[in-house]
Amino acid sequence: MRRRTTRLVVAVGVVAAAMAVVKLPTSAQDDADRVARGRYLVDAVASCGQCHTPRKNAAEDPERYLMGHPRSAEAPKFSMDLIRQGVLLSIAPSYTAFSGPWGVTFATNLTPHATGLGSWTEEAFIRAMRTGKHLGDPDKRSMLPPMPWRHYRSITDADLRAIWAYLQSIPPLDNAPPPAKNQLGKPFDQ
């Protein structure tokens, strides 16, 4: 009787262990899950493409997905007169360059090209999203509007890592947007 119980316990243990092994996701599966989660966050929740993907006929252009403000595209001029007349924000037709009381900003390239996030590390990306510092470097300037980093800074580490993994998986596009034109002085200087 005792022996039979022992055998049963051993058998159940073996089956449970086998199930655990089968159920354990492989690391490739983990990576695929992380990228899928990142895609969902970027496209459906945080809508990064709203500003980082240039428009074509008013819609985000899938061919230029997340490549930032096209280097040679039109940018709205900074105009104190317009601001005095109550026009707080003007936006380029591409919807990737923005002029307001802070100056003029250009959405950056989020693709894994050298002109985008290609040379960044995951740590720098997470720091940039949390601290609003250019390049994620504490010694660099603070990011200017309208990049909503104050909203994004409370995203969990796991989700920021998922966003990073997804952004590293999209097609790299060669585009270096112009540097921001800052009217506010420190801490927004280059």
Residues that bind ligand HEC (CB under 6 A): 42, 46-48, 50-52, 98, 105, 107-108, 110, 128, 134-135, 143-144, 146-148, 152, 163, 180
Q: Cβ of residue 124: shortest distance to ligand HEC, in angstroms? A: 9
Other Cβ atoms less than 10 A from the Cβ of 171: the count is: 11
Compare residues 83 and 153 and give the one whose CB is closer to ligand HEC: 153
Q: Is the CB of 108 or the CB of 111 nearer to ligand HEC?
A: 108
Instruction: Give residue 165's identity as a one-letter amino acid code.
Output: A
For 31, other C-beta atoms within 10 Å of its C-beta total 13
CB 9, min distance to ligand HEC, A: 51
Distance from the Cα of residue 61 to its chain's centroid:
17
Question: 112 preceded by cis ω (within 30°)?
Answer: no
Cα pseudo-dihedral 142, 149, 68, 37, rounded to 10: 140
Smallest separation (angstroms) from ligand HEC to the CB of 155: 8
Q: Which is nearer to ligand HEC, 28 or 185 (CB)?
A: 185
Task: Write down the least CB distance from residue 73 to ligand HEC, Å.
Answer: 14
> Based on CB atoms, which residue is closest to ligand HEC, 82 or 142?
142
How far is Cα of residue 123 from the mean position of the Cα atoms in its chain? Answer: 13
Q: Which lies closer to ligand HEC via its Cβ, residue 83 or residue 142?
A: 142
User: Shortest approach of ligand HEC to residue 31 CB, angstroms?
Assistant: 19
